Amino acid sequence: MVKAIVGANWGDEGKGKITDMCAAESDIVVRFQGGSNAGHTIINDKGKFALHQLPSGVFHEDTLNIIANGVALNIEYLMKEIDIIKSAGIKFKLLISERAQVLLPHHVLLDEYEEERLGDKKFGSTKSGIAPFFADKYSKVGIQLWELYHKERLKERLKGMYEKINVQFKYLYNKPEIDYNEVYETLCGYAEIIKDNVADTAKILRDAVKEGKNILLEGQLGALKDTDHGIYPYVTSSSTLAGFAAVGAGIPPYAIENVTVITKAYSSAVGEGPFVSEVFGDEADQLRKKGGDSGEFGATTGRPRRVGWFDAVATRYGCEVQGATEVVMTCLDVLSYLDEIKVCTGYEFDGKEYKDFLTTENLYNAKPVYTTLEGWKTDIRGIESFDRLPQKAKEYVEFVENEIGVKISMVSNGPRRDEVLVR
């Protein structure tokens, strides 16, 4: 069975924890998009880990982990991540697609220089080089991993690439030029280190599909950060949708039978862009402090996350574009302190109430329409079955389920792997 675990919202929905949990029953866990620009937080018996590029299956010794062709491969960061996991005594199997493209030093620099140049109009980039990376990939000047093993060709391509980039660095940004020979040497060093991990992973995955293996496709960020369907241009540069997993991993689209979409019991987002149900001031500070497992701060960037009430309009849309077959709601425990809980059930815009998600500028002008529910005002961590939750907590979940139109199959009431209530 092939299952995708993806986000309904702006990312940080708690996909890592659910993936880690499902990874126990998976033969293969695959990262199919994104790069080192976001991360999952995983808490298990081995400790607390922030994974950025490594698939969440690394905590299960028998699981094969694949970084597929759709990922922006930052080899330097990957090696650091591998070291951290290995030094915690964890053994794992990892393969990297020979068709994955390699993130290069100028991608990170371009991200930085461009945000500097844009000033107030910046996108809130994580400055991991992701947007310049995908620009190069789709203008066909990027480097696929297999090219690292064709040295002469690699040198020629880098030479050509940096001729153009250096003009941009010098004249547009007024920054030092890059010596392509240095990049070449670095890449040759990396090639040697990772050579045993490089494989035709798409072929391995297609065979695994045919053999009926359990494959988990692990998404990064969420539907509202998708390049096409998200809050463009405040989106990421690769598709965050389950449908893209077929391309990003190289498997048939019809193979993906289960699309498990993760959403939080409230909203959180990092970076710029419209956020209709956002809250501010003390209300936000309180929610931010209670949120996640130790407050709402980005796993990769450490940036304080923007927070708000659950947005049923955005989440229903997120579930639809993901093609959700089931939904998991995380962080229900976080709302336990509230007397009343609001849910955004409509957008008021131009004198009308909308139930559908809008394009970016209209979202900026939309006001949230809230339905207020009663809180349960009691700590729900430690409760081990959905039925034992306070009535008001169950009603909250049922209300949201009704709004988004997809079954909520699991609710999570704490950051640990075992804190999940199956319905």
Catalytic residue positions?
12, 40
Residues, the chain: 423
- Tokens coding 262: 């993760």
Look at residue 112 and give its three-state secondary structure: helix
Q: H or E stretch including 164?
A: helix 151-167
Token output for 126? 């994580």
Residues found near ligand GDP in the complex (CB under 6 A) = 7, 11-17, 39-41, 43, 292-293, 299, 330-331, 333-334, 412-415, 419
- Helix (H) or strand (E) holding 64, with range, is strand 64-67
| CB 261 to ligand GDP: min, Å | 11
Residue among 44 and 371 whose Cβ is closer to ligand GDP: 44
Question: Shortest distance, CB of residue 233 to ligand GDP, whole angstroms?
Answer: 21
**Nearer to ligand GDP among residue 5 and residue 178 (C-beta):** 5
Per the CB < 8 A criterion, the answer to whether 197 and 207 are in contact is no
Structure-block tokens of residue 30 = 């695959």
**DSSP code at position 323:** T
Cβ distance to ligand GDP smaller for residue 111 or 333: 333
User: Cβ of residue 16: shortest distance to ligand GDP, in angstroms?
Assistant: 3
Residue 406 is which amino acid? Answer: V
- Decide whether 209 or 397 has the Cβ nearer to ligand GDP: 397
**97 neighbors 204 (Cβ within 8 angstroms):** no
Rounded (10°) angle between helices 180-194 and 151-167: 140
CA pseudo-torsion sign 286, 291, 295, 299:
negative
Count the Cβ atoms, other than its own, within 10 Å of residue 50.
Answer: 16
Q: What's the CA dihedral at 199, 94, 9, 129 to 10 degrees?
A: -70
For ligand GDP, give the closer residue by CB, 17 or 31.
17
Q: Which H or E run contains 65?
A: strand 64-67
- Shortest distance, CB of residue 370 to ligand GDP, whole angstroms? 23
Query: Is omega for the bond preceding 233 within 30 degrees of 0, making it cis?
Result: yes
Rounded CA-CA distance 228/238 in Å is 9
User: In whole angstroms, how close is the CB of 129 to ligand GDP at the nearest point?
Assistant: 19
Q: Residue 76 CB, nearest distance to ligand GDP (Å)?
A: 21
Rank residues 148 and 334 by Cβ distance to ligand GDP and give the closer one. Answer: 334
Phi, psi of 91 (to 5 degrees): -105, 140
